[in-house]
Amino acid sequence: MSIRARKILKITRNIATEKRYGILQPNGPILPKNATLSLSIYALHRDPVNFPDPERFDPERFTQENHVGRSPYAYLPFSAGSRNCIGQKFAMLKMKSLLSKILRNYELLEDPEHKLVLPAETVLKSTSGICVGLKKRSS
């Protein structure tokens, strides 16, 4: 057994380098040889078929009940298959624990003046930052 590094994010693929040439149809392949495929992760994560009302913040999308019937490849940070995130369960537990602690002690406030600027890059992050206000909950 050997340990080797694997690419964790590949969003383009040249068909000529593949052993298989995609989905074949009766009158030939859908994609011509040497075609390059690109995947828009931003669009994939906002597909209304998998994520209704995709621009709304809804952590409930990722509960076990709401995950039924959705492809494990629909959300890439955890994904599935040979490149599945081995820290997925730990990351989710840590995130839930932290979020629970914050929400028990604080109320989150939106800054209506702040506008997110989301460039089309491999990793989605706001170039204008994210502004969230915290208001201590009364006991």
Residues making up the binding site:
85
CB 114 within 8 A of CB 101: no
* Spatial distance between the Cα atoms of 22 and 29, rounded to a whole number of angstroms: 7
Residues annotated within the binding site for heme are: 85
**3-class secondary structure per residue, 35-100:** CEEECCHHHHCCCCCCCCCCCCCCHHHHCHHHHCCCCCCCCCCCCCHHHCCCCHHHHHHHHHHHHH
What spatial distance separates the first Cα and last Cα of the chain, rounded to whole Å? 55
